Amino acid sequence: MGGLVNEVSQQRVSVKVAYVFIAAACIVLVWSFDIFEIISFASKGFALYYFFQCLSSMWVHFRIAKAKFVFSLCVGILCLLVVLFGQPFES
């Protein structure tokens, strides 16, 4: 992650400084929110990413392979449902 910040900033922010800021942001995040909410946000982020992957797969398989298109559609709908209706675990 620090290397990505270094590249995006065109080497104006060193990798070590980027990791310090990332660590500070993570500490603030963990102290500000419930851990289950953080995990829920991360899970929804992954589900959204995989939803977009399913859209890409559907685009490719629309005319070529109907079975793969339908499978991608079903998985994409499940991912979208996770993003929309996913709830953090309550202990």
Distances (CA, A) of 65 to 50, 52, 72: 20, 19, 11
Q: How far apart are CA 58 and CA 52, in angstroms?
A: 10
Q: Indicate if the pLDDT at residue 2 is higher than 90.
A: no
Q: What pLDDT does 53 receive?
A: 93
Q: What pLDDT does 77 receive?
A: 94
* Domain extents in the chain: 1-32, 34-91
Q: What pLDDT does 91 receive?
A: 55
Q: What pLDDT does 49 receive?
A: 94
End-to-end CA distance of the chain: 31
Q: How far apart are CA 81 and CA 73, in angstroms?
A: 12
Dump pLDDT digits (tens) for 20-62.
Answer: 989 999 899 889 888 888 888 889 999 999 999 999 999 988 8
Residue 90: burial class (beta carbons within 10 Å; 0-12, 13-18, 19+): exposed
Dump pLDDT digits (tens) for 64-89.
Answer: 888 999 999 999 999 999 999 988 77
Instruction: Name the helix (H) or strand (E) containing 43.
Output: helix 35-61
Angle at Cα 43 formed by Cα 66 and Cα 26, nearest 5°? 145
